[in-house]
Structure 1
Amino acid sequence: MSEYTDNLRDVFEWFGPITVRRMFGGYGIYHEGLMFALVSDETLYLKADEANVGDFEREGLGPFEYNKGGKVVRIAYYQAPEELFEDHELAAAWARRSFEAALRAQAGKRKSARK
């Protein structure tokens, strides 16, 4: 792991325990076995969906993007606000909303699999 990802355990202390797993040149951040955040190039991104994407947009925070075969690909993670690194209560609130987005995404996958 890196010093950056190790520090996230302190950042999200009020939210609850997290685990960090290496993935694709970055890290997945998990709570209760569900990925709610990722780290790429020492930048934290939080899970977003229709219910919370407006929170990110109001703060002017952009989506996670990467280049795949000459095309820019966006996924449902947005840059975390810098303020949450200094405020445990704020970090817990943002993490909770992103974890809820991850739960909704997981529930949607289960419904699709049953069809």
Structure 2
Amino acid sequence: MKDISEQKIQQVKSRFTFLGSITYRSQFGGYALLVDGIMFALVSDGELYLRANDQIENIFQTRKMSNLVYAKRGMPILLRYYFVDSTLWEDQNLLFYFVQLAYESSKAEMLNKKSQPVRLKDLPNLSITIEKLLWKVGIKSAEELKIKGAKCTYLKLKSLNKSLGFNVLLALAGAISGYHCAVLPSVLRNELLEWYEEIKNPEKG
């Protein structure tokens, strides 16, 4: 599936040059497509899905575009990414319009978020309980959390509550990276697990 996904990414990059330089990264078991850091689409199993939000989702739904389904712990979750079928792929005018919609709505959403202060509890994976613990150790903003990093922050929280486990470390790393902890890159997850085991059992180091 990796080869057909990479092939589709190359097709997208060559076809949607009007957006600018398109980059990609791993996400939801597929590849997120971005322009200037703005995520507008996703390629999964060789298929293209356009990102939607409240402003444009009804347009995709009216055309009866299907959602991307992501399996989390065996449970299917409908994501707000809509399938570009072969008919839409061949309809260049409509496709370009939809792609532009996906990009512009994502851009507007990002600008709106940047203009508003982000509370810690609003970051991926973090609850108000974790937010309160972070406040107690002097971390009161998303920027402060990013500067401290997941490992340093985890140690600070652990000093307050020794029962905190590996899932909290994953949650912090995901919050900093902007990922749900279930879809953290495997390289990062493995690195964190190795570090966690070292601090949990220092005599084995």
Structure 1 length-normalised TM:
0.80
Consecutive aligned runs of 4 or more in structure 1 exceeding 6 Å deviation? none
Matches within 5 A, 1:65-104: 65-104=69-108
Pair 1:29 & 2:33 matched:
yes
Higher relative strand content: 1
CA contact (8 A) 2:28 2:70 kept: no
Deviation at 1:61, TM superposition (A): 0.7
Residues 77 and 43 of structure 1: CA distance in aligned 2, closer, same or farther (over 3 Å): same
Deviates more, 1:46-55 or 1:88-97: 88-97
Aligned residue pair count: 115
CA contact (8 A) 2:24 2:31 kept: yes
Structure 2 length-normalised TM:
0.49
- The percentage of aligned residue pairs carrying the same residue is 30
Match of 1:45 in 2: 49
Tell which has more relative contact order, 1 or 2 (C-alpha 8 A, sep 6+).
1
Q: CA separation in 2, counterparts of 1:51 and 1:24?
A: 23
RMSD, aligned α-carbons: 2.4
Matching residue's letter, 1:37: A
CA contact (8 A) 1:46 1:78 kept: yes
Q: What 5-or-longer segments of structure 2 have no aligned partner?
A: 120-205
Q: What 5-or-longer segments of structure 1 have no aligned partner?
A: none
CA contact (8 A) 1:11 1:88 kept: no
Partner SS, residue 75 of structure 1? strand
Pair 1:9 & 2:21 matched:
no
